Structure 1
Amino acid sequence: MKKILLSLIILMSTLTFSITDYYNIKELKYDDNTYYLADSNAIDNTYIQEYLKKDDSFPNYKELISVSYIKDGENIKLNELVQTQIDFVDSLGILKFVNTTHTFEKNILLDEFLIESGTYEYDIYHYLKDNNGEIVLLQYSLREYVDSQEKHEKFINYIINNRDEMVAKFNKFVIHKLNVKNMENK
């Protein structure tokens, strides 16, 4: 379990700018916006692709959608994967709140709010497990770079006033069956 999360964390922190489209998905539509494949990586049986809006770039993006795929995840319990994520972020000392909703055996939503050195980040994770044991983790990340009390209050109020709607909307976000064929040839 920890190996899988460690793989995801390593992938997210070591993404290179050599992009391989493992899923055959070059762009995603979400909430009336288009996100373009900006980075990808693979390690062991875990694949990740990150998508940014046209005007965003790493590392200072405003919005990101990440799609992670864990092949052969039949022995992984989603609730343990979620708890490992919570424990990891909590250990960094930047976690301000975390909430798990819609907890089902094969479908878990997690949202969290982080603050680190003027970067405010609100993340929604949607963990999905299919009948074949394959796991897909969808992440929506919204950031604000806060350098004033006004920006602080504006972002905090935005999250407070829109959180339930954002979680409900992301719960409905669907990625059609990923093209596993590309990954098997890797």
Structure 2
Amino acid sequence: MRRFTPRSPDGRSEAQVVVDLVLDDLSPGEVLTYDTLLTQLDRDDIRPVYKAVAEANKRLRRDHQRSLVVVPGKGYRLLHAHEHPAQADERRTVARRRVAEGVMILRATRLGELSEAARQAVVGQVVIYEGLQAQLDHQDQRLRRQEDVLASVARRVEALETGRTAGTSS
């Protein structure tokens, strides 16, 4: 069964209205205000707007390689392309924290208060979460090594270019 999606008078979903606003009216770095969104979606309540923007952001990322971020108290800013990696990195950090919190919550479970089946389920979840945490740690180590190699290469290129420039100016 398909869930109900509110439609604008022209038949577009609210998420599509937001996508069109972003693509037609916004340049990277510009803000789409809450007032504009409320007006364009013909809403008095901001909560449905949040849902429409969340869905629109998924479509923007998937189909248009664009991304919105919240500007507290104002609306949503369209990211520049060079800002996407930092946003992804922030999400990775949040994910790591959430997984670690999940492990702590599971470890804090009073197993003696559970049935045998529930105890086994919790122990299984701990194994899964700890495995996920180990994978994230491993990926972070690999990423740091790759970043170190890239930084080293960049320094070498810079030194070579500086030396070449210094050598040609004499």
Higher strand proportion (structure 1 or 2): 1
What TM-score comes out, normalization by structure 2 length?
Answer: 0.22
Higher helix proportion (structure 1 or 2): 2
